[in-house]
Structure formats: structure tokens, C-alpha cells
Amino acid sequence: MIDVEKIRRQFPILERKVSGRQLVYLDNTATSQAPLSVVEEIGRIYRGHRANVHRGVHTLSQEMTALQEKSRDKVREFINAQSIEEIIFTRGTTESINLVAASFGQRFREGDEIILTVMEHHANIVPWQLLRERTRIKLKVVEINEKGEIDLEQYEALFSEKTVLASFCHVSNVLGTVNPVKEMIATAHRHGVPALVDGAQASPHIKIDVRDLDCDFYVFSSHKMYGPSGVGILYGKRELLESMPPWQGGGEMIAKVTFNHTDFADLPFKFEAGTPDYIGIAAFSKAIDFINETGLGNIERHELELARFAEEGLRNIDGIRIYGEAKDKGPVISFLLAGVHPYDLGLLLDKQGVEVRTGHHCAMPLMDRLGIPGTVRASFAVYNTLDEAKRLISAVETAASILK
């Protein structure tokens, strides 16, 4: 059990008002709010430790480097990776996937095939399309059923001798579908194909164990996990990362440089050219502490309880249609009100202090598949309350009465 009121006191932003009403923040899928421990850690570092990492013998640089590397080990522990060499810091999930496409993708040849699913975020589509322009690879797409679940038979049938990668989300940011990624990874491996998991929507809610999953790459973002923005993670199996060329050149990723030749640094620094967001990275460790102290099991249970309650309430409103009915579903509700554009509904909810996301959610191919321009999306975090779920329902009721 969790004490939501105690948790809320760690998130002062939740006390603010929007449109004269108490804020109800339900856009957690886009970015969740940060607890005071994260905010204060950023301030503490700016006040007392800020210096560039891995560069100086001086005390501040040594301290800052230690803070950053402590965070790397915390991330390693959080996802049960074997070694810190397997944890690469990036700017976010998007950059992590671009890194894999730019580096691992160099071994792909014309006609090679990558398997994606129709529910992918643009971050797991466009980098592969950019690669396709350079190398003429092919993209194959797995379909979903009416509930928004992956068609596992079709998925397996898409593998061929030409398949070089399967890349799919753990949890859909639109439908909330929790994909059977362990099974999907095992299928890929049976065909001798590595698997990348986009865990942006899983890492805030579900225990990730990369060794148990046996994924080859796992990517996620700090800002969706109560951490600072501008920080992402690429987990990769060590032997794979070792076999991959650097994707960006610059300071910190080298061992020796002459004008004729450069020897690259060892992992993980080979993939971390330039000055990273070392303060964000260091403060991310406090977000992981927050999640660990609250308990992922408690977080998931609480969020799902709210999401199920809100979904039930919304279903009772005339004209509401919910998108995403998977058996295993995260705390995300995508919906539409018949005859009403999602933006209009979103604006009326904002006028009542209820912050939800509207639009295509960076998943235009999925919107095409569903035959809609977008949805309204409410998504829950551990600090949300039953009262807030009720506020969502009544705000949609009010909006429906105005718009219909």
C-alpha cells in the first residue's frame, strides 16, 4: 500500500492551479513530474559540485564524475544489467534508437529487413526510415487485433533469412498495450535475429530485467520516470556494443587522436561524445531512488486501479469510445467522444484544470490503422488520486454536455 498524500507532498507542482482549478495532471505518458529529491539534487549540484566530467584532476570534476558514474551503476542495478559498460547515456529514447540505427545499422545491407509493429512511436519508425534511405533496407510491420494486441502469428511469419532486427515497444503510448516482449524476443532469437525493446512507457511502471528478457537493446527516458529531462538510456549487450562503431565523434569518446588515426575509448564512453547532461544524469539517480523506495509493484497497482476506475466511468458517458482494450494494459486511456475533435475536448478539459494529451501521440501510422486523426489520452502516475480520476470523468461529462 502507498500513502498517496505523503507522495504528493514530494511534488509541489501538483499544488498549482490551472484555469482557476486545482491541477489534475494526467499527461504522465508524455512526461511525469519530478519529486523534490530530484529538484533539490539538481540545485545541490549546481550550488556545490558543477564541473565537467571525466576531464579534470581537480576536486569538483572528480566529485561530479563520481556522481554521474554512481547514477550509471544505479541504472544498471535498476534494469539488472550485467555491467556498467552496457549502460550508455543519451538524450532520451529517441536518441538511443537513433544511435542503434546509425551504429548497429551500418552492418545492414540492401534488402535486409527490420520488423516493427504498427503501434510504434515515431521514434521507433523514422530512424529506420532514414537508414532505409541510405541502405535500402526494408521495413516490415506487424499488425494488431481489434483489442490492440500484437498478432504474434503474423509477427513470427514476418521473419526471413533477410531479417536483421526486430524493434518493438514494450508498452504502447497510445493503446496502453503491454506487449509479450519476452516471448517476442525469444521468437527473434529463434530466427537468429537481435531484438530492440522501446521501453519508454514500460520503465516507469514495470520491473525491467534485461537479463531475464534477454533483449539485445533496451531504451528508455528519464523524464517519463520522475527524472530530469534530457537524459535517456541505451542498454545494449556488451558484445554487441563492443562490435559497434561509434556514432558521433568528439571529446570523451577517444583513447588517442592523431591527424592520421583515432583509437576510441572503451565502453560505455565510446558512445558518449562531448559533454553529457551530467547534472541531469546524476539527479536521475534520485528518481530511481524514489521509484525503488515507493516500489514498482505498489506504483503499478495504484496506477492501474485509478486507470480502470476512470475507464469504467468514461465508458458510461454517451458517445465515448475507448481505444486499446488489451488484456494486459498499462495506466493509459485513449478515447474519443463521437462527433467531437480531440483538440476541442482537450481544450475544454484544460479549462477545467484537467491536463490530458490530444492528437496523434507521435504514432501517426497507428492512427491511420485505427482510421482516426487522434485521440484524447489520460495517463496516470503514482501521485494521482481517485478524486482526480473522478475529476477526469466529470470534466469529460461537462465537456460532452457543452459540445453535443
Q: Which residues are catalytic?
A: 362
φ/ψ of 27, rounded to 5, equals -115, 40
Question: Phi-psi category of 58—alpha, beta or left, where left has phi over 0 and alpha has psi -120 to 50?
Answer: beta
Distance spanning both ends of the chain, measured CA to CA: 41
Task: Please choose, out of 42-50, 92-100, 133-141, 145-153, the segment that lies near ligand PLP by the rule CB under 6 A.
Answer: 92-100
DSSP string, 50-63: ---TTS-SSHHHHH
Shortest distance (Å) from residue 145 CB to ligand PLP = 19
3-state secondary structure of 394: helix
Determine, following the binding rule CB under 6 A, whether residue 334 of this chain makes contact with ligand PLP: no
* Residue closer to ligand PLP, measured from CB, 63 or 300: 300
* Residue closer to ligand PLP, measured from CB, 10 or 29: 29
* Residue closer to ligand PLP, measured from CB, 10 or 201: 201
Shortest distance (Å) from residue 54 CB to ligand PLP = 24
Alpha carbon 27 to its chain centroid, in Å, reads 13
Residue of 75, 118, 123, 396 interacting with ligand PLP (CB under 6 A): 123
* Residue closer to ligand PLP, measured from CB, 64 or 198: 198
Residues 152-171 touching ligand PLP, rule: CB under 6 A, are 169
d(Cα 279, Cα 226) in Å, to the nearest integer?
15
Shortest distance (Å) from residue 285 CB to ligand PLP = 18
Name the amino acid, one letter, at 119: M
Sort 260 into a burial class: Cβ within 10 Å, 0-12 / 13-18 / 19+: exposed
Task: Please choose, out of 86-94, 106-114, 128-136, 343-351, the segment that lies near ligand PLP by the rule CB under 6 A.
Answer: 86-94
- Say how many C-beta atoms besides its own lie within 10 A of residue 305's C-beta: 14
Within 13 A of 2's CA, how many CA atoms are on the CB side? 25
Shortest distance (Å) from residue 200 CB to ligand PLP = 4
Residue of 33, 94, 163, 352 interacting with ligand PLP (CB under 6 A): 94
Shortest distance (Å) from residue 186 CB to ligand PLP = 21
Q: Tell whether omega for the bond before 204 is within 30 degrees of 0, i.e. cis.
A: no
* Residue closer to ligand PLP, measured from CB, 35 or 176: 176
Q: What mask of x and - would describe binding to ligand PLP in positions 189 to 228, judged by CB under 6 A?
A: ---------x-xx-------------------x-------
Determine, following the binding rule CB under 6 A, whether residue 332 of this chain makes contact with ligand PLP: no
* Residue closer to ligand PLP, measured from CB, 200 or 314: 200
Determine, following the binding rule CB under 6 A, whether residue 121 of this chain makes contact with ligand PLP: yes
Residue of 68, 86, 92, 282 interacting with ligand PLP (CB under 6 A): 92
* Residue closer to ligand PLP, measured from CB, 71 or 352: 71
DSSP string, 173-237: TTT-BB--HHHHHHHHHHTT--EEEE-TTTTTTS---HHHHT-SEEEEEGGGTTS-TT-EEEEE-
Q: What mask of x and - would describe binding to ligand PLP in positions 3 to 42, judged by CB under 6 A?
A: ---------------------------x------------
d(Cα 48, Cα 39) in Å, to the nearest integer?
14
Cell of 251: 571529446
Shortest distance (Å) from residue 239 CB to ligand PLP = 25
Sort 404 into a burial class: Cβ within 10 Å, 0-12 / 13-18 / 19+: exposed
Q: What mask of x and - would describe binding to ligand PLP in positions 243 to 282, judged by CB under 6 A?
A: ----------------------------------------
d(Cα 280, Cα 286) in Å, to the nearest integer?
10
Q: Which residues, in sequence order, are CB contacts of 316 under 8 Å at separation 6+?
A: none
Q: Which residues bind ligand PLP (CB under 6 A)?
A: 30, 92-94, 121, 123, 169, 173, 198, 200-201, 221
